[in-house]
Amino acid sequence: MKITQTALPGVLILTPEVYRDARGAFYETWNQRVFAEAGLGAEWVQDNYSYSVKNVIRGIHYQVIRPQAKLVRVTEGAVFDVAVDLRRSSAWFGKHVAVELSAENALMLFIPVGFGHAFAALTERAGFSYKVSDFYCREGERTIRWDDADLAIEWPVEPGRAIVSEKDGMGSALRDAEVFA
């Protein structure tokens, strides 16, 4: 597995070796030994899956109680995946990276604790699978508005076409959000 550092230290693109033939394809999505050798000591406690229709934007989500590292990938279709540095003490606070993840390119994104996460579905249906390093905690869950002007994320969704949940639509502005130290 190839591991590539993004512009945000700690946020990594993982490129597995994909074996393709006439039957289809096979690749490893996680290997404890490979992660340990790369210094990624996250212990996964839960696997989650969602699917979204085109133009759905989910996030920007994170937990201040029971914070989570995430390993995300797409099983069907494609998404525009975003990680936002939410550590006030970081030189990259409020900065983000975006990567297109798809079933075809098989890329995965490792997002460490201290970051928010969001994605936009780029295809008619996008299957999204992810591991988390701690359990869901409703009391600790926070949301920053996906369209916060201070973040300047260039979402690949036509203006007025974004589909967001009520919760995500009511997220905090970054400047008002409870974030990490």
With contact defined as beta carbons under 8 Å apart, do 66 and 135 qualify? Answer: yes
Catalytic annotation, pick one of 62, 96, 117, 130: 130
Q: What does the pLDDT average to over 42-47? A: 92
Give the pLDDT score at 120.
98
The first and second tokens of residue 118, run together, are: 């969001």
Using one digit for the tens of pLDDT, what is the confidence trace for 153-175? 999 998 899 999 999 999 999 99
User: Is 61 an annotated catalytic residue?
Assistant: yes
Q: What does the pLDDT average to over 35-40? A: 86
d(CA 22, CA 77): 20
Q: Which residue has the tokens 């993982």?
A: 14
| pLDDT of residue 12 exceeding 80 | yes
Of 40-44, 48-52, 91-95, least confident by mean pLDDT is 40-44
Q: Residue 22's CB: how many other CB atoms inside 10 A? A: 4
Catalytic annotation, pick one of 61, 62, 96, 117: 61
Whole-number Cα distances in Å, 173 to 80, 149, 167: 21, 9, 13
Domain ranges for the chain: 2-176
Classify domain 2-176 by CATH number: 2.60.120.10
Using one digit for the tens of pLDDT, what is the confidence trace for 62-121? 999 999 999 999 999 999 999 999 999 999 999 999 999 999 999 999 999 999 999 999
User: Is 130 an annotated catalytic residue?
Assistant: yes
In the chain, where do the E strands start and end?
2-5, 12-15, 19-21, 24-26, 46-53, 57-63, 70-76, 78-85, 96-102, 108-111, 115-121, 125-132, 141-143
With contact defined as beta carbons under 8 Å apart, do 18 and 25 qualify? Answer: yes
Q: Which residue has the tokens 């690949």?
A: 156
